[in-house]
Amino acid sequence: MTAHPRRQWTPPSGQRPRSPPGGDVNTIPWIPAPARPIVFKNASVVDVAGNTVHKGRTVVLENGVFSAVSRGAGDLVPDARVIDLEGLYLCPGLVDCHVHINMSDGRPSSGYTDPHLRATYTLKAMLARGFTTVRDVGGATYAQAQAVKQWLTPGPRLFQGGNIYRRARRPAVARGARRVALLRAGAGDGADHVKICTSGGVSSPTDALESVQFSPAEIRAITSTVADMQGTLVTSHAYTVPAIRRAVENGVRGIEHGNLLDRDTAKLLASTGTFLTPTLMISTAKGRAPWNETLPDYMREKNAKVRDAGRRAIQIAEEEGVTVCYGTDLTMGMGYLQSEEFTQRAQLLPSHRVLAHATINAAKLLDDDKIGVIAPGAYADCLVLPANPLEDVRVLDVGDDGRHGGIWGVVRDGRIVVARGEFAELVEEVGGLDVVLGIQEAA
Q: How far is the CB of 138 from Zn ion (least distance, A)?
A: 6
Answer yes or no: are the C-beta atoms of 269 and 276 closer than 8 Å: yes
Of the two residues 96 and 329, which places its CB atom closer to Zn ion in the complex? 329
Give least dist CB 46 to Zn ion, A: 29
Q: Are 20 and 27 in contact (CB under 8 A)?
A: yes
Of 65 and 164, which CB lies nearer to Zn ion in the complex structure? 164
Residue 329 or 434: which CB sits closer to Zn ion? Answer: 329
Positions touching Zn ion (CB under 5 A) are 329
Min separation Cβ 312 and Zn ion, Å: 20
Secondary structure (DSSP) of 355-405: HHHTTHHHHHHHT-TTSS--STTSB--EEEESS-TTT-GGGGS--SSSS-T
CA distance 390 to 405: 16
Taking each helix axis from N to C end, the angle separating 172-188 and 216-229, rounded to the nearest 10 degrees, works out to 20
User: Which residue's CB is nearer to Zn ion, number 202 or number 407?
Assistant: 202
Which of 243, 271, 267, 268 has its CA nearest to residue 257? Answer: 243
Q: Report d(CA 40, CA 167) in Å as an integer.
A: 51
Q: How far is the CB of 178 from Zn ion (least distance, A)?
A: 23
What's the rounded Cα separation, in Å, for the pair 396 and 130? 8
Question: Please, which residue, 329 or 381, has the CB nearer to Zn ion?
Answer: 329
Could you tell me where the beta strands, DSSP code E, fall in 79-151? Answer: 81-84, 89-92, 94-99, 131-136
When CB distances to Zn ion are compared, the closest residue is 329
Q: What's the closest the beta carbon of residue 97 comes to Zn ion, in angstroms?
A: 11
E runs forming strands in 9-167: 38-47, 52-62, 65-71, 81-84, 89-92, 94-99, 131-136, 157-160, 164-165
Beta carbon nearer to Zn ion, 286 or 412:
286
Smallest separation (angstroms) from Zn ion to the CB of 98: 6
CA–CA distances in Å: residue 289 to residues 168, 180, 275, 333: 34, 42, 31, 14
CB of 329 to Zn ion, least distance (A): 4
Nearer to Zn ion by Cβ, of 125 and 374: the residue is 125
- Give least dist CB 256 to Zn ion, A: 6
The least distance separating Zn ion from the CB of residue 164, rounded to whole angstroms, comes to 8
Output 236 or 274, the one with its CB closest to Zn ion. 236
Q: How far apart are CA 244 and CA 212, in angstroms?
A: 9
Between 329 and 397, CB nearer to Zn ion: 329
The Cα 56–Cα 45 span in angstroms is 8
Q: Is 283 exposed, middle or buried (0-12, 13-18, 19+ CB in 10 A)?
A: buried
* 50 contacts 44 by C-beta, under 8 angstroms: no
